[in-house]
Structure 1
Amino acid sequence: MTILDKIIVDKKREVELKKQLISFSQLENSAVFGSRTYSLSKNLRNNAIGIIAEHKRRSPSKSVINNSYSVEEVVIGYQNAGVSGISVLTDGKYFGGSLDDLLLAKASVNVPLLRKEFIIDEYQILEAKAHGADVILLIAAVLTREEIKQLSEFAHSLGLEVLLEVHNREELEKSIMPSLDMIGVNNRNLKTFEVSLEYSKQLAQHIPDEFVKVSESGISSSEAIKELQPFGYQGFLIGEHFMKTENPGKASAEFINTILVKS
């Protein structure tokens, strides 16, 4: 059983328990459920750099990354740096995140927020909407084509955008459908944890142009951005590179300035 398999087993149990505590109607009646949403796909298309910066406390492979800064400090720093969007990890057991992190981010910034989560149920999409998300992540590796269709269409019905994450061509080909907004290629092999930009390069030509192309993981330099842009990538999700520094907001500003200077 891979770490991803373990996460999904735990996630199914977690969702069923949460359903017993907070009803669908309670989520729909939350204070921010009807609040304005921001388009990440539009931001990425209209920004020459397209950085999606991530708030991540820890990960299964790296243990603690950064517990020094509050969510508010990190996301405000990211917004001031000029990022196109912010990814917020909400998984607790493996990544140290929570839905409260998402809610605090919503109260702090006006940029599109991605709920970074292992979504397997419509209930989690309602949670995302009820806690201020603008975008949800769907992971092709853990969902069937029918599940991707059902979940992405439900997200759209709530006014949320959908970023689909793939790792190989098989996952991509089973997943392409109109109810997606962005397709992200994860450069990390989930079996070996090896990271290579070649995954993004190899899949780029197979992603239809109507979807915004996003490259995820392993992006730690302006050179990597320049290397991927000719392949049509407009979004670059960067997590640990900023979070492992003493000041994630400052690190993201310096990173973006470096790209602008070299442009």
Structure 2
Amino acid sequence: MTILDKIVKRKREEITVSKSKICIEELKDSQFFGRKTLSLKESIKNKSGVIAEFKRQSPSKGIINDQVSPLEVVSAYEKFGASGISILTDKDFFGGSFEDILSVRNHINIPILRKDFMVDEYQFYEAKSIGADVILLIASCLSANQVQEFTELSHELGLEVLLEIHTEEELNHFNPKIDLVGINNRNLKDFKVDLQHSVNLKNLLPKDVLSIAESGIYTIEDFNYLKEKGFDGFLMGEYFMKNKNPANTFEEFIKTIS
């Protein structure tokens, strides 16, 4: 069993518990369910293209930074030009929670991606209820039919969809309704990073699709290489979060790429 298999197995257990506690109708009554969502697609076109991530830990790296508050970090991300914010909500493997989104939603005016392992329609109502604007669909966790169904549900709820792929086979999960396609530079099964592999995949996408380079961007050179190869956006977390002050690191990064 790969780490991805373990995460999905645990996620299904969590969802069963959540459904027993809060039904979808209750989620619809939440504070943020009726709010008008923000477009990550438009924000990427008009700003830096960087989707800056708040991430405390990961299965491959362990604790990255558990000493800073979400609000402190994401406020700086917005201030210095991030196109969007990615926030992990998986607890067991990434140390995240819904509270990490809830605590910042009223304080920032750029899109928030709920980054989690979405395998059940219940989670999309959760995402809407906590104030997310975008959700992540990971092709390696889902069938092409599930991606289609979840994309339609997301759009019904006013949420945009970022589809994450890593292999040529997973290109079959793409459908024209997908808002953005993320190509993970890191293989989720063995965690190896290969930027050239991502570029090769990007070149197989339809030309009009907004492409996002995800994970494994460790240097300015990595960023510039991927930008030169035509990626529209860049989902980056560890680059900033591994430093004691992610806000300062992000500010310096934006100055450098500008």
- TM-score norm. by structure 1 comes to 0.95
Higher mean C-alpha deviation, range 193-202 or range 140-149: 193-202
Q: CA deviation at 1:199?
A: 2.2
- 2:238 counterpart residue number: 240
Matches within 5 A, 1:135-174: 135-172=134-171, 174=172
Q: CA deviation at 1:227?
A: 1.1
* 1:82 matches 2:81: yes
* 1:259 matches 2:257: yes
* 1:23 matches 2:27: no
Q: CA deviation at 1:145?
A: 0.7
- 1:106 counterpart residue number: 105
Q: Tell me if the contact between 2:40 and 2:111 (Cα under 8 Å) persists in the aligned partners.
A: yes
Q: Distance in 2 between matches of 1:41 and 1:224?
A: 22
Q: CA deviation at 1:68?
A: 1.1
Gaps of 5+ in 1: none
Q: CA deviation at 1:105?
A: 2.2
Q: Tell me if the contact between 2:33 and 2:131 (Cα under 8 Å) persists in the aligned partners.
A: yes
Q: CA deviation at 1:178?
A: 2.0
Residue 104 of structure 1 aligns to which amino acid in structure 2?
A: S
Aligned with residue 181 of structure 1, among 179, 182, 189: 179
Deviations 1:75-111 (A, max 9, x none): 1111111100000000000000011111112122111
- Runs of 4+ more than 4 Å apart: none
Identity of aligned residues (%): 48
Q: Tell me if the contact between 1:112 and 1:135 (Cα under 8 Å) persists in the aligned partners.
A: yes
* 1:60 matches 2:59: yes
Residue 243 of structure 1 aligns to which amino acid in structure 2?
A: M
* 1:46 matches 2:58: no
Q: Distance in 2 between matches of 1:199 and 1:162?
A: 23
- 1:116 counterpart residue number: 115
Q: Tell me if the contact between 2:163 and 2:174 (Cα under 8 Å) persists in the aligned partners.
A: no
Q: CA deviation at 1:30?
A: 0.4
Q: Report the count of equivalent residues.
A: 258
Q: Distance in 2 between matches of 1:191 and 1:32?
A: 35
Higher mean C-alpha deviation, range 228-237 or range 70-79: 228-237
Q: Distance in 2 between matches of 1:119 and 1:214?
A: 19
Residue 114 of structure 1 aligns to which amino acid in structure 2?
A: L
Gaps of 5+ in 2: none
Q: Distance in 2 between matches of 1:167 and 1:3?
A: 16
- 1:6 counterpart residue number: 6
Q: Tell me if the contact between 1:87 and 1:114 (Cα under 8 Å) persists in the aligned partners.
A: yes
Q: Distance in 1 between matches of 2:88 and 2:239?
A: 15
- 1:249 counterpart residue number: 247
- TM-score norm. by structure 2 comes to 0.97
Q: Distance in 2 between matches of 1:45 and 1:169?
A: 26
Residue 183 of structure 1 aligns to which amino acid in structure 2?
A: V
